[in-house]
Structure 1
Amino acid sequence: MTTAARTSARCLRAFHPRPDAAARLVCFPHAGGTARAFAELSAALPADIAVDAVQYPGRHERRSDPHPGQIAALADEVARALTDRADDRPLFLAGLSMGALVAFETARRLAATDAATRLIVSAALPPSHDWQERDLDACTDAEIVAELRRLGGVPEELLIDEEVLRHVIDLLRTDHRALRRYGCPADATLSVPVTVLLGNADPKADVVRTRGWADHTTGAAHTEVLPGGHFALADPATGAARRLTELIRADLT
């Protein structure tokens, strides 16, 4: 196995393997997040949906893999892994916050083979919009921790563990550099349907600010609101698992 093949194999994690599932759902985590962000969602989804969670470089079993520093490079890697593992099951991509951009770029790379069936994005502004993200390299650790608490999604016990917190902050700064470098032309479009799932208490993304996702597909686009915050997509308590199941099964019929 080549180095590239080994790397692509490590970028997808299946917490609950379902080889006989009718559909595949690939979940892309937020900035600073790991594949484990979707472990509970994976457990909550039914047996007919196989879930792979993307593991970006620098995390857990990939801790020694260098971060490429570009959203496009992250998408290249995932697209390569999905191509290497391609089968005849419908493929759904779901991205949370920064992960929505990686999922969108992955879908663009898979467009030539019509591999993706639907893109699902959450807590994310459209790719051609200015996200106006803060420069975390100019922020103190205390300011970053305050923002993490505001958004939720990181257990308090991790925020008070100095070793874990140091790693989380380093990952956030690295991911945000890639996010701030990212640019997408306004005419970059997919042909697959796009579903925007929002948390009704998300302080960063709402129905108005995410409306432009419809401009990035020639297919259907619609928005739905779930009870929850910035991380509603990954939280089974918001009803995300039920809604994802309904969306996927509807596309299979």
Structure 2
Amino acid sequence: MDYRNLEIAVARGVATIWLNRPDMRNAMNEALISELTDAVRAVGADTGVRVVVLGGRGKAFCAGADLGWMKQMAEYSHAENRASAVELARMLNTLHTCPKPTIARVHGHAFAGGMGLASACDIRIADPAAEFCLSEVRIGLVPATISPYVVQAMGAAAARRYMLSAERLTATEAHRIGFVHALCEPGAIDAAVDRFAQQLLGAGPAALARTKQLLDDVVDRPVDEALLEMTADVIADVRASTEGREGLSAFLEKRKPAWEGA
């Protein structure tokens, strides 16, 4: 697929997907959503890719929804609005369930749907000048499709506050409440992203994918007999897998596992 709203660069196992509408602060419209869904699926299926980075060209990560698209949606029927919302929901879920670990490289504004994009990623790294905002209620809307990822990323209590108040969060505050995992030094976001990417490249690719699935499987579940059985099955399957055996052998033999030389 040829992308008009994205750039993709792959180097040494890391695929960087750039939102590339800098004149619109990378605001989302139906075309960008469709392209991003396709791009994340493609890099997720690429065996040469082991880490995915999502960033934005220009002065912002993503300012939310494109104003022109919002004007169009105001004229949509309920059915048309629902179909459009489903496409956005599917894109976010595709990003969240990507089998490769994902890093949000956040600079400038990450507002509304842009904050949803960051939330759907596994790790969020921010420039100290970045700003976040769940601004939907200010214009009479609801952060519905992004809500599952925002709540998981910042916790229910913080999500309740910021979804209702539509306050802006500085990068420092977002880091303090745990939404942002790491703040870089000014002008050093690419170096910070690379450090995290290199850390992830040291892990087993299958183990990372299974751990991502495990996190969704155990979050908010009661620790009952079914959960105990499920987690026991997971570790038993992984220990018996080719990657699991290679990792354990490498550890015991004090050598690097095969995937670190891939």
Range of TM-score over shorter length: 0.3 to 0.5
Structure 1 or 2: more helix by fraction? 2
Larger radius of gyration: 2
Normalised by the size of structure 1, how large is the TM-score?
A: 0.36
